[in-house]
Amino acid sequence: MIPLLGPASAAVARYDGMLTAVPNPGVLLSPLTTQEAVLSSKIEGTQATMGEVLEYEAGQEAASPERREDINEVINYRAALRTAESILQTLPLSQRVIREAHRILLSGVRGQNKSPGEYRRIPNWIGPPGCTIENAHFVPISADKLPRAMDIWERFIHSDQPDKLVQLAILHAEFEALHPFLDGNGRLGRMFIPLFLWQTGMIRQPMFYISAYFEARRDVYYDRLLAVSRNGDWTGWCAFFLEAVRVQAEDNLSKAQAIQDLYQKLKHQVTEITRSQYAIHALDWIFGRPVFKSTDFIDNAAIPDFTARRCLKVLEEHGILRRIVSGSGRRAAVLAFPALLNAAEGKTVI
């Protein structure tokens, strides 16, 4: 592991340095948080895109009932992460935090009938859709042994280990192997990664986006986890995990830097073109909501109505905002912030 540890730790440290330089990272990096929720959910089979999630939150209808379910699962993922972050202000990382995050994750979506927030009391297994326990790829620990196993897992979170990233690799693999809930284990296990990095002081905000690497290598991700249980191949799994951390830390750094550069550039431009004392306030608002209804901005940005309307008009005229749905009658226009969405995606999407 030693040749992999240094580059992974250094990449995380460089990314954390960027986090400290970003003003109000919870707002400016919110598109990355949404993207992480989208990709983590995609690993489990959802199809919603970041654009669809943001448009839905801006009042647009989903393309189908199935896509609406996908979008709500992504929204729940973000809500569960925020809930865990709030609890961790006063409590240590523990089973209580995990169970509460799980309760939010499954609230009102597919899986809501699968005991949100409670460990399973019946067997479950992993395999192709419709498979039986006899031909499953993997069968986790029996339900009666689960409480003690989770106690051991929790103690390992707070144990003194030679390296925090290897400790995290083990914790993630063991959580997925224990499969403590009837649904949502994969998403919750990935959500645990930024929470652990934050709680152990490796990053100063619970903002680390790892699912892009796992989603792009989904089969290898599953194979490496299964190889631990089948063959005891901890080295193969930990090597894969450390490489994921390194690659994603570098990608996170690149995207955070691009967003920070965009913000600094627009601070001057928006102040100049709007000639308003509310220019930075307006800019902060659209960074937090890169797709929005015009009425939401006017009603909620805490800017006088006339000034808010003029800001939107000027920002659209200068190409900072793009109208994706025109207003008609009582229906508000929907506007997007293309430069921010493209920076978050790392490619031109709008």
Give strand ranges (E) for the chain.
291-293, 322-325, 334-336
DSSP code for 134:
G
Q: Please count the helices (runs of H) and the strands (runs of E) in the chain.
A: 16, 3
Say what the pLDDT of residue 148 is.
98
Say what the pLDDT of residue 339 is.
96
- Compute how many other C-beta atoms are within 10 angstroms of the C-beta atom of residue 240: 22
Pairing assessment for the beta strands 322-325 and 334-336 based on DSSP bridges: antiparallel
* Averaged pLDDT for residues 70-75: 96
* Averaged pLDDT for residues 298-325: 96
| Residues 116-172 pLDDT 10s | 999 999 999 888 888 888 888 899 999 999 999 999 999 999 999 999 999 999 999
Locate CATH 1.10.10 in the chain. Answer: 255-345
% of residues, the chain, pLDDT over 70:
100
Cα–Cα distance between 112 and 117 in angstroms, integer? Answer: 10
Residue count of the chain, please give it.
Answer: 350
Exposure of 237 by Cβ count < 10 A (0-12 exposed, 13-18 middle, 19+ buried)?
Answer: buried
Say what the pLDDT of residue 113 is.
85
Say what the pLDDT of residue 37 is.
97
| Residues 220-253 pLDDT 10s | 999 999 999 999 999 999 999 999 999 999 999 9
CATH among 1.10.3290.10, 1.10.287.540, 1.25.40.10, 3.40.50.970 for 2-253? 1.10.3290.10
SS3 at position 138: strand
* Averaged pLDDT for residues 95-113: 93
Cα–Cα distance between 271 and 255 in angstroms, integer? Answer: 24
What single-letter amino acid sits at 206?
A: P
* Averaged pLDDT for residues 251-257: 96
Cα–Cα distance between 199 and 10 in angstroms, integer? Answer: 18
Say what the pLDDT of residue 258 is.
95
| Cα angle 63, 36, 302; round to 5 | 75
Query: In which residue are the tokens 């067997």 written?
Result: 123
Cα–Cα distance between 68 and 158 in angstroms, integer? Answer: 39
Please state, rounded to an integer, the average pLDDT across all residues of the chain: 95
When pLDDT is cut at 50, 70 and 90, the band that residue 110 belongs to is confident
Answer whether CATH 1.10.3470 is correct for domain 255-345: no
Locate CATH 1.10.3290.10 in the chain. Answer: 2-253
Say what the pLDDT of residue 211 is.
97
Say what the pLDDT of residue 347 is.
77
% of residues, the chain, pLDDT over 90:
89
Say what the pLDDT of residue 128 is.
83
Cα–Cα distance between 174 and 159 in angstroms, integer? Answer: 15
Q: Is the pLDDT of residue 334 over 80?
A: yes
pTM: predicted TM-score of the whole model, two decimal places: 0.94
